[in-house]
Structure 1
Amino acid sequence: MIGAATPVEGNDGRAAPSAPGEGAADGELLIDVRGLLKTFRVGFLRRKAVEAVKGVSFGVRRGEIFGFLGPNGAGKTTTIKMLTGLIAPTGGEAYLFGARVPSPEARRRIGFLPENPYVYPYLTPREFVELCGRLSGMGGASLRRRTAEVLDQVKIAYAADRQVRRLSKGMLQRTGLAAALVSDPEMLILDEPMSGLDPVGRKEVRDLIFSERAQGRTIFFSTHILGDVEAMCDRVAILREGKVVVSGAIRQLLRGDVLRTDITLAGATDALLAQLAAMGFATSRRGDVALVDVQGEAHVQKVLEQSLAAGAQIVEVTPRRETLEDLFMRRAL
């Protein structure tokens, strides 16, 4: 099973989780992926082998929000399809709720939003969500009540009886999310849940994910929107070319030291900026203020003293620490 609670930077991405709070590392392991492999055969005659997933390992524990990241073609969606039993792995093992995938029993306990949800175009959102509920074993008044609840929850109730073919991409995404929620699952597996949503829609989905976690649900989702992941997730795994290259708690993975400091000056003369540039600092002007980019922390005091001595006013001093985007660019590309 998963070992000590330390971040991993390598192909073995099964670092012990630490979220939410301090006690989650002792929680139940709901997703356990061990050396998962997937090779596709492409082409008609020569059937070239393409390795899409190359020994991916990670674990997700109950009650956490787990981000699954990587550039296009890294193997995220293929891994998710193997987890949900849509395609069979070439090698390795994956477990949901302790049952080896594919498992109909485990699948009943998850809600799944695919990357590009297909909704029958002549159905309405209400009809489609009720259909998904019946496929999950629901029915009667309880299904109708639950359908109305989730359509309202994802802010699509106003179009509940409009044919899906007349809906926008964002409205289709909300309909798919409602279908994932209708059976009241223990865990949500969401592949690009923010796709097609405007900024308001993204915030609403973020709020919904936090709300679902507060009710005890575990959230596993893939996305390209790194700011959302950094704000929401307890732990992440980053894939590159079919392998996990980074995995662990975000607060442990990101460097805590100051990488650079942005200093904003008012009243800075050209002579001062030339002097700072000669000292090796990047300078620029933006309207009435000047910007100085100081790498690290050691030279900040020197720049401030030099600027004040030249008659400039200090408007703002902003230290910049490593973000998830910095980590992603450093390790995944």
Structure 2
Amino acid sequence: MEDTALQAAEQLLGGLPPSPAVWCSGLRKRYGRRTAVDGVSFTVGRGEVVGLLGPNGAGKTSVIKMLLGLVRPDAGEVLLLGRPGRDPASRERVGYLPELFRYQPWLSAAEVLAVHVRLARASVPAEEQRQALALVGLADRAGDRVNGFSKGMQQRLGLAVALVARPELVVLDEPTSALDPLGRADVRDLVLSLKARGVAVLLNSHLIGEVERVCDRVVILDKGRVAASGSLAELLGQRELRLRLGAVNAAAEARLAATGSLHRSGDEFTVVLPAEDDGSTVPGLITDLVGLGVQVHAVEPGRISLEERLLGILRHEEEQR
């Protein structure tokens, strides 16, 4: 009877979707009188890339350290890959690149990887360790000592360490901070390849353009709280139309304003398109403008950038205080 019940429970659980790679609720942390993190909650799905954004001091690194058990939260709960964050086993399949790190300068790149494989108690063949170095562009420097590495090369080695033990979740804290443009492009491609393999990625970066290129969703922190979160489509849903026009009379300007929020600078006009636009708004607008005698020199579709959205959210939060 018990075996039958156990089999039924296993079948039921087996039919459920996998738990999120990261689940946290109500995280709080104070350092003395300063509240660093105040009620932060979010998730990272399996195979999803989530960006953690916010100004310096927003609490991003503190949140990451609480997720990984490096800092004990004053309140809140964490699950990593379905296990409680307080359980060391929850971090067995997690790769981590901290913002600040230093490896033993007398070790070679290959030896650094071997040490971390042993610390992770993982079984990773030497060939697979060499592949991890090749993945970050250090295949020909495997035998070189770390004390001869540039900051960018050490950053690449840190990425290899984060990836070597076949993680299901990778947490990257400022992974491109010491890299040149080519290195940043390599990291971007690497994150996208991890996503394609079903690996979840939590990315903390000040390079908003990189976040916009690789992330499915974004969590914006400000003063320790979640100021906004959502998919890029949700956060950047506002579409714009930029036009360069001549002979704009009062009737034409009123027609532009009737379409949506309007901004004018000389002969250049920016109109916010309605969210419910079915594709007919722009052709109808241009037809009406021409009918009103307006000379249409240029029409350019646009979308608010993540940087503009981030600044708008943070300024709004500041005004509310």
Given candidates 73, 79, 87, the residue that maps to 1:95 is 79
Question: Are 2:301 and 1:326 aligned?
Answer: no
Question: Are 2:214 and 1:238 aligned?
Answer: no
Question: Any residues of structure 2 matched to 1:19-38 within 5 Å, and which?
Answer: 28-38=19-29
* Pair 1:327–1:177, CA change in 2 (3 A): same
Which is richer in helix?
A: 2
Question: Any residues of structure 2 matched to 1:1-333 within 5 Å, and which?
Answer: 28-41=19-32, 49-138=33-122, 142-258=124-240, 260-263=241-244, 281-283=264-266, 292-296=268-272, 301=286, 305=290, 314=297, 316-333=298-315
1:326 positional shift:
1.8
1:332 positional shift:
2.6
State how far apart, in whole Å, the 1-side matches of 2:66 and 2:212 are.
26
State how far apart, in whole Å, the 1-side matches of 2:196 and 2:303 are.
29
Cα deviations across residues 205-245 of structure 1 (Å, max 9, x unaligned)? 11111111211211111111222222211111110000001
State how far apart, in whole Å, the 1-side matches of 2:109 and 2:101 are.
12
SS at match of 1:63: coil
State how far apart, in whole Å, the 2-side matches of 1:172 and 1:262 are.
47
1:295 positional shift:
4.0
1:154 positional shift:
0.6
State how far apart, in whole Å, the 2-side matches of 1:232 and 1:196 are.
19
Q: Which runs of 5+ in 2 are unaligned?
A: 1-16, 254-262, 274-280, 316-321
* TM-score, scaled to structure 1: 0.76
Cα deviations across residues 186-218 of structure 1 (Å, max 9, x unaligned)? 111111112111111111111111111211211
Whether the 8 Å contact between 1:70 and 1:238 is mirrored in structure 2 is yes
State how far apart, in whole Å, the 1-side matches of 2:197 and 2:151 are.
28
* Pair 1:317–1:92, CA change in 2 (3 A): same
State how far apart, in whole Å, the 2-side matches of 1:251 and 1:326 are.
14
1:251 positional shift:
1.1
User: Using CA pairs below 8 Å that are at least 6 residues apart, which structure has the higher relative contact order?
Assistant: 1
State how far apart, in whole Å, the 2-side matches of 1:75 and 1:294 are.
36
* Pair 1:241–1:143, CA change in 2 (3 A): same
1:27 positional shift:
5.1
Number of equivalenced pairs:
280
1:301 positional shift:
4.3
Cα deviations across residues 234-288 of structure 1 (Å, max 9, x unaligned)? 1111100000011122212222332x5153x8xx9xxx79x99xx88313xxxxx
* TM-score, scaled to structure 2: 0.78
Whether the 8 Å contact between 2:53 and 2:206 is mirrored in structure 1 is yes
Q: Which runs of 5+ in 1 are unaligned?
A: 1-25, 42-48, 284-290
Whether the 8 Å contact between 2:238 and 2:272 is mirrored in structure 1 is no
SS at match of 1:281: strand
* Pair 1:92–1:261, CA change in 2 (3 A): same
Whether the 8 Å contact between 1:67 and 1:235 is mirrored in structure 2 is yes
